[in-house]
Structure 1
Amino acid sequence: MRALFKWTLRILLALVLAAMVVGVWKREEITRLMAVNSLFSEEKIVHNFSHMDEAFLTVDLPRGNGPTWELSYGPGFDLPEGTDAWVEDRAVTSLLVMRDGQIRFEEYYLGTGPDDRRISWSVAKSYLSALFGILLHEGTIASLDDPVTKYAPKLIGGAYDGATIRNVLNMASGVTFDEDYLDYNSDINRMGRVVALGGELDDFAASLQDSFAIPGDIWQYVSIDTHVIGMVIRGATGRSVADLITEKIVQPLGLERDGYYITDGAGVAFVLGGLNFTTRDFARFGQMILQNGKHNGKQLVPADWIADATWPSAPTEPGKIGYGYQWWIPIGAHEGEFLARGVYGQYIYFDRPRGVLIVTTGADRKFREPGVSDLNVEMFRKIAQSL
């Protein structure tokens, strides 16, 4: 009996020791998973969106040693009636309005400030579009009608086999992907856990096998399409997206702070939503786009690419919001009106004829309620028209 007790005790001690070893070994992953599980909680969401580097692996996007692009301030103006209520209802954390290159309004809310590097979410997709346009212009990528597998052979045999670059830029890959943020087991949330636990998004994309439509036939917002664009870029150049976007966009813009990307476990940038910059640095990118890709006398992004990318070329339904190459075109848009948009209230809105740029960041947990997106665009239009 005594021998059995000693044997049992040894087993228990071994199990406890093993658990301690695993706990130490996996502590970082467990901490990240816990952070992800509370990422959007009401009491933490505002803080989390300014401190994403506390929850995820990251890679820096250094601003370099060049001069800062000094944004001048023009005369203030009265925001249109209803703006204050909209800011509160939509949990806006920052609002910056520019016209003709001058800041006309800038304010921060819910305890955030101008030095906060806020998560972009899907605004990052439009940054990747800009980088893609540069590489296409340089000839690094031959054609939008090349199959994605030409540059990303890991996708051969999966759902993306047969899709072209144009298809994925348009969000018309036909790949089955559940984008329901409220469903724990949806594809978008499974993908988030892959990132949090140090998995590899290339493997995740290659594992997708199901399609609901022939590529190019139907538009459906599929965030993993943007990761595939990143795979194409990396395959074509042999370089990381982080290095490329730093060299060709971040450093030439003269940002005020370094930015960073969230990454997966292989150090691959989370290109579909992982950019983090200050509100003013988002505005610097936006102003460059508003200036047809030029800054400081240099053409950073080809003007013809911006025109093509912000044209509603995707096969969206008539009367619904339009989509280009990772850019949104709102319902009833006039020429030169388009936007970058991310979940929870991240926007860069453009009204080129008026010379207006509006940047917002937010923590709007009700962003998916019917009509919210339309109300946001309506507010942007009211602000632009009041200048």
Structure 2
Amino acid sequence: MRTVIKWLLRITLALVLAAIVVGVWKREEIKRLMAVNSLFSEEKIVHNFSHMDEAFLTAPLPRGNGPTWELPYGAGFDLPDGTDEWVDERAVTSLLVMQNGEVRFEEYYLGTGADDRRISWSVAKSYLSALFGILLSEGVITSLDDPVVQYAPQLKGSAYDGATIRNVLNMASGVTFDEDYLDPNSDINRMGRIVALGGELDDFAASLNESFAPPGETYQYVSIDTHVLGMVIRGATGRSVTDLLTEKIIQPLGLEHDGYYVTDGAGVAFVLGGLNFTTRDFARFGQMILQNGVHNGQQLVPADWIAVSTAASSPTKPGKIGYGYQWWIPVGAEDGEFMARGVYGQYIYFDQARDVLIVTTGADRRFRDPGVSEENIEMFRSIARSL
């Protein structure tokens, strides 16, 4: 009996030691997974969205040594009736309004501040679109009608085999991908766990093998499409998106603070939603786009690309919000009205006719409730028209 007890004790001790070793070895992965599992919880979401580097691997986007693009303050104005209630209901964390290149309103909420580097979520897709336009104009990428596998051969045999770059830019790849943020077993949440645990998104994209429609036929928002665009860029240039975005957009803009990308385990940028900048630095990018790609006398993004990429070219359903090349176009949009949009209330809204730019960040856990998106757009329109 004593021999059996000693044997059991030894086995138990060995298991405990093994658990300790694994816990130490995988400590960072376990910590990130726990952070991801509570990323959107009511009590943590505001903090988490300003500290994504606590949950994920990251890569720096240095502002460089150039002068800061000063954003002058213009005259203040009264926000439209109902704005305060909207800010509360939508859990807005920052609101910045610019007109004619001047800041007309700037405020931070829910304990956040001007120096918080906030997660962009899908606003990042529009940054990638701008970079794509630059590379297309440089001839690095030959045509939007090239198949994506020409630049990303790892995707041969996957559901992306047969899709063109244009299809993917339009979110019309036809690839089956579950984007339900509220379902823990959805593809989008499974992808988030892969990133948190240091997996590689290239492998994840290549593993997708089901389609629901032929490429180019049907619009369906599929975030992994944007990762595929990143694969195309990396394949065409032999460089990382992080380095290219820094060189061609971030440093020429004269940002106030360094930014960073969330990355996967291979250091590949989470281009579909992983940018982190201050609200004012999001505004600097937005103001450059509002000015048709020009900043400080330099054409950073081709004006013709901004025009074509912000036009509603995707095969969306009639009467529904339009989509271009990684940009959103509201229903009934006036000329020059478009936006970048991310889940939980991240927006860069453009009204070129009025020379108005609006940037918001948020932690709105009800962002998918019926009518919320339309309510946000009408609030932006109301603000723009009140100036």
Query: Deviations for 1:73-123, whole angstroms, at most 9, x for unmatched residues?
Result: 000000000000000000000000000100000000000000000000000
The aligned residue for residue 335 of structure 1 is 335
Residue 286 (structure 1) aligns with: 286
Q: Could you say which residue in structure 1 is the equivalent of 2:107? A: 107
- AA aligned to 1:288 is M
Give the Cα separation in 2 of the matches to 1:146 and 1:324.
Answer: 18
Task: Name the structure 1 match of 2:348.
Answer: 348
Measured against aligned partners, the alpha-carbon deviations of 1:240-297 in whole angstroms (never above 9, x if no partner) come to: 0000000000000000000000000110000000000000000000000000000000
Match of 1:170 in 2: 170
Q: Give the deviation of 1:5 after TM superposition.
A: 2.0
Alignment of 1:31-180 (within 5 A): 31-180=31-180
- Residue correspondence of structure 1 range 149-228 to structure 2 within 5 A: 149-228=149-228
- Three-state SS of the structure 2 residue aligned to 1:72 is coil
Aligned residue pairs total 387
Matched, 1:304 2:304: yes
Partner of 2:382: 382
Percent identical among aligned pairs is: 83
Question: What is the TM-score normalised by the length of structure 1?
Answer: 1.00
Report what 1:264 is aligned to.
Answer: 264
Distance 1:4 1:90 in 2: 63
How far apart, CA to CA, are the structure 1 residues paired with 2:10 and 2:363? 51
1:249 equivalent in alignment to 2:252: no
Question: 1:340, CA displacement in angstroms?
Answer: 0.2
**C-alpha separation in 1, matches of 2:317 and 2:56:** 36
Deviations 1:168-193, CA, capped at 9 Å, x for gaps: 00000000000000001000000000
Other structure's SS at 2:79 match: coil
TM-superposition CA deviations, 1:341-377 (whole Å, max 9, x none): 0000000000001000000000000000000000000
Paired with 2:321 and 2:13, the residues of 1 have a C-alpha distance of 61
- The answer for the alignment partner of 2:370 in structure 1 is 370
**Secondary structure in structure 2 of the residue aligned to 1:192:** helix
The amino acid that maps onto 1:361 is: T
Aligned equivalent of 1:323: 323
Q: d(CA) in 2 for partners of 1:13 and 1:348? A: 56
Give the Cα separation in 1 of the matches to 2:304 and 2:144: 14
Query: How many Å separate the matches in 2 of 1:285 and 1:237?
Result: 23
Measured after TM superposition, the shift of residue 14 of structure 1 is: 1.0
Deviation at 1:336, TM superposition (A): 0.3
| CA distance in structure 2 between the partners assigned to 1:18 and 1:178 by the alignment | 37
1:215-252 Cα distance to aligned partner (Å, 9 max, x none): 00000000000000000000000110000000000000
Cα deviation for residue 166 of structure 1 reads 0.3
Task: Report the TM-score, using the length of structure 2 for normalisation.
Answer: 1.00
Q: Hey, what's the Cα distance between the residues in 2 that align with 1:208 and 1:304?
A: 33
Deviation, 1:10, is 1.5
Given residue 336 of structure 1, which amino acid in structure 2 is its aligned partner? G
Question: 1:326 deviation in Å?
Answer: 0.0
State the 1:12 CA deviation: 1.3
Once the two structures are TM-superposed, the CA of residue 8 in structure 1 deviates from its matched residue by 1.9
Please tell me the residue identity of whatever aligns with 2:64: G
Offset, 1:9: 1.6
Unaligned runs of 5+ in 2: none
Report the Cα offset of residue 4 of structure 1: 2.1
Tell me, in whole angstroms, the C-alpha distance in 2 between the residues paired with 1:7 and 1:194: 39
| Equivalent-residue separation in structure 2 for 1:329 and 1:361 (angstroms) | 19
Alpha-carbon displacement from aligned partner over 1:15-37 (angstroms, at most 9, x marks no partner): 11111000001111111011001
Query: After TM superposition, where is structure 1 displaced by more than 6 Å over at least 4 residues in a row?
Result: none
Distance 1:212 1:57 in 2: 33
Letter matched to residue 5 of structure 1: I
Distance 1:203 1:319 in 2: 37
- 1:16 & 1:220 partners in 2: Cα distance? 48
CA positional deviation for 1:7: 1.9
Q: Shift of the alpha carbon at 1:2?
A: 2.1
Report the counterpart of residue 359 of structure 1 in structure 2: 359
